[in-house]
Amino acid sequence: MYNIVLFGPPGAGKGTQSEKLIEKYGLTHLSTGDLFRKHLGEGTALGELAKKYMNEGRLVPDEVVIGMVEEKISESKNTKGFIFDGFPRTTAQAKALDEMLEKHGMSISGMIALDVPEKELKERIKERGKTSGRVDDQDEEKINTRIKVYLEETLPVAAYYESQGKFTKINGVGSIEGIFNDISQVIDSY
Ligand code: AMP
């Protein structure tokens, strides 16, 4: 069983690589951004709550995110493992994830971080904004907020896994296939 945290700033390619990884390894994709967008689309109370944070590029409060992830993990019986994409984004979320997994007799195999320079991230997000329909992909100020939030609140999560000897950084610039091979090699070494 693999439980992988795919890590990186907005626009690093986590969603793209997750899709390929779930296919190759038969894992369950758990993207908190996708889950929130689903709630938004369905007009649930959770979606309503998350909306204002998402539209501004700020983080949804930890307890809301953690509750949603807990539900998804509990629902996913008999899985071969998870790819966590866009989660955990704070150290509190990382600690909560460890506790949740332990309750289910699981643990994190490792964190794989995609390294992409800021200039390239902004270009990729703007390009994605042309087709994604995401409010937070289309406005320069929101994109800047998301990158700032990543640097200030999310980057410490890497140190959390590094201190457990579970951190690997990968060059996130290059061909999708090349990056996928690099990630696969790390997973195969777990
Ligand atoms: P993403 O699709 O991962 O870029 O997430 C889109 C937005 O959803 C983020 O900018 C946050 O507002 C919210 N979000 C997604 N995942 C989390 C998380 N783990 N913690 C807090 N907010 C999140």
- Report the pLDDT value the prediction gives residue 77, as an integer from 0 to 100: 82
Q: pLDDT for 110-158, tens place per residue?
A: 999 999 999 999 999 999 999 988 888 888 899 999 999 999 999 999 9
CA distance 8 to 106: 23
- Report the pLDDT value the prediction gives residue 58, as an integer from 0 to 100: 95
Average pLDDT score over residue span 159-179: 97
Average pLDDT score over residue span 174-189: 98
Q: Is 172 annotated as a binding residue?
A: no
8 Å CB contact between 180 and 13: no
If we measure between CA atoms, which residue out of 40, 36, 55 comes closest to residue 146?
Answer: 55
Whether 89 sits among the annotated catalytic residues: the reply is yes
If we measure between CA atoms, which residue out of 183, 152, 188 comes closest to residue 169?
Answer: 183
Q: pLDDT for 35-54, tens place per residue?
A: 999 999 999 999 999 999 99
Q: pLDDT for 1-37, tens place per residue?
A: 999 999 999 999 999 999 999 999 999 999 999 999 9
In a domain, 190, yes or no: no
Ligand 1 pocket check for 5: Cβ under 6 Å: no
Ligand 1 pocket check for 146: Cβ under 6 Å: yes
Residue closest via CA to ligand 1's atom 1 equals 33
Whether 169 sits among the annotated catalytic residues: the reply is no
Residues recorded for the chain? 190
User: Predicted confidence band at 100 (pLDDT cuts at 50, 70, 90)?
Assistant: very high
Q: pLDDT for 49-88, tens place per residue?
A: 999 999 999 999 999 999 999 999 999 988 999 999 999 9
- Report the pLDDT value the prediction gives residue 133, as an integer from 0 to 100: 86
Q: What CATH number is attached to the domain comprising 21?
A: 3.40.50.300
Q: How many domains does the chain have?
A: 1
In a domain, 71, yes or no: yes
- Residue of 124, 134, 166, 169 with catalytic role: 134
Whether 14 sits among the annotated catalytic residues: the reply is yes
The model's pTM: 0.95
In a domain, 189, yes or no: no
Place of tokens 């390894």: 25
**Is the pLDDT reported for residue 160 higher than 90?**
yes
Ligand 1 pocket check for 154: Cβ under 6 Å: no
Whether 134 sits among the annotated catalytic residues: the reply is yes
Q: Is 60 annotated as a binding residue?
A: yes
Domain hosting 23: range is 2-183
Long-range interactions of 180-184: CB distance < 8 A, separation 24+: 180/17, 180/20, 180/21, 183/6, 183/17, 183/21, 183/112, 184/21, 184/24
In a domain, 43, yes or no: yes
CA distance 84 to 189: 18
34 CA to centre of ligand 1 in angstroms? 8
Q: Is 117 annotated as a binding residue?
A: no
| Interstrand relation of 110-115 and 2-7 (parallel, antiparallel or unpaired) | parallel
